[in-house]
Amino acid sequence: MALAAKIIFSETDDLLSPNYKDRVFLQAENFLKVQSLSRSQYQLFKCALDGLREDFQEEEIPPFIYLPRLVCAGLTGDAEIALPLSVATTLLFLGVDILDDLADGDLPSYWKGYQTSQIQLVSATLLSSLPQIAISELEVSETCRDALQRTLAQGLLRMSAGQYQDLSMNGKDNVSSQEVEASVAAKSGEELALFTALAAQFSGAPPDLVKVYTDMGRAIGTAGQLASDCYDIFQAEKSKDLANGTRTFPIALYLEKKTLEERKLFLDLLERAKESEGVVDMIRATLHSSGILRLSAFVVEVYCQRARTLLTAAAPRDIAVSGLEKFIQKNSFF
């Protein structure tokens, strides 16, 4: 018993080691190989997975890989049990990511040569079939497996509602910051809430503790998306959101603060930004002079603070604390 505990500790010494990411991708690849019903189907899945691996080569700690691991370690002390769950959440993330790229008209170059309908099919299969099979193969009780499948289905339903809300605000003249915030929480917040909820249930946590971890994931995901929206407008070389006419949080904050005349002028700038990158600098300057970045930073910080409070309430084992704190702090401006 003492030896087993020692092995577990040494294996989970560095929960954020890059080696874990490589192992998850390798296991996901094997899983896809086993599950594919034809060589061509496998090639399609592999193209998607290789693309994801390439996209996240630089990213130190993708949440879909490491959050389940940290939650499992925080609850059980054993980080290794999370590996098959991280495979399921990776496949899930991959499906959502492809669907997002399709909605934004922003498909990466590795899809060159594939038809849109084929890419839609990969996304649909990744969302509706493969994570469910991965979960069905987890070594847990039948009751736990049922609960995990239900959590997955409900999470996908909520994310779908958030995505719909997001799409319906595209190009609109009057969106409120509260509407945008709600759609961010329902889409990106729910995605991370799903990862932490699955991990907590898988680890055998009681329902009230599952809820704490779920809420913490939601707060991290919401803060992360709001921060990413700021990055796109204030830092990115090319703003995808401005090019697509997406009404992100900083834009909504500005619009609701302004008079009708000022709104008209700004909406005109937003329209021109779809065609001309030069207009982006004017939009940035306008937002800066209105204090929008500072106000957005405050809102992100509120979500970070919520996540910190929930982390304290969750009281995970020591080995997982710094990793979870790192996920929260990653979003903070301060």
Binding site for another protein (CB under 8 A): 55-56, 59, 63, 97, 177-178, 181, 188, 223-225, 227-228, 230-232, 234-236, 253, 257, 288-291, 293-295, 297-299, 301-302, 304-306, 309, 330-334
Integer-rounded Cα Rg, in Å, for the chain is: 21
Cβ-based nearer residue to another protein, 135 or 306: 306
In Å, what is the CA distance from 58 to each residue of 53, 62, 80?
9, 10, 23
In Å, what is the CA distance from 16 to each residue of 178, 215, 254, 308, 318?
34, 22, 38, 19, 14
The CB-of-204 to another protein minimum distance in angstroms stands at 29
The CB-of-105 to another protein minimum distance in angstroms stands at 16
Please, is 293 exposed, middle or buried when counting C-beta atoms within 10 Å of its C-beta (0-12, 13-18, 19+)? middle
Cβ-based nearer residue to another protein, 149 or 290: 290
The CB-of-73 to another protein minimum distance in angstroms stands at 21
Cβ-based nearer residue to another protein, 66 or 202: 66
Is the CB of residue 327 less than 8 Å from the CB of residue 290? no
Query: What span, in angstroms and rounded, lies between the C-alpha atoms of 216 and 328?
Result: 9
Cβ-based nearer residue to another protein, 78 or 181: 181
Entry field: residues in the chain = 334
The CB-of-302 to another protein minimum distance in angstroms stands at 4
The CB-of-53 to another protein minimum distance in angstroms stands at 12
Cβ-based nearer residue to another protein, 160 or 332: 332
Instruction: Report how far Cα 40 is from the mean position of its chain's Cα atoms.
Output: 29
Cβ-based nearer residue to another protein, 145 or 308: 308
Query: What span, in angstroms and rounded, lies between the C-alpha atoms of 98 and 125?
Result: 11
The CB-of-295 to another protein minimum distance in angstroms stands at 5
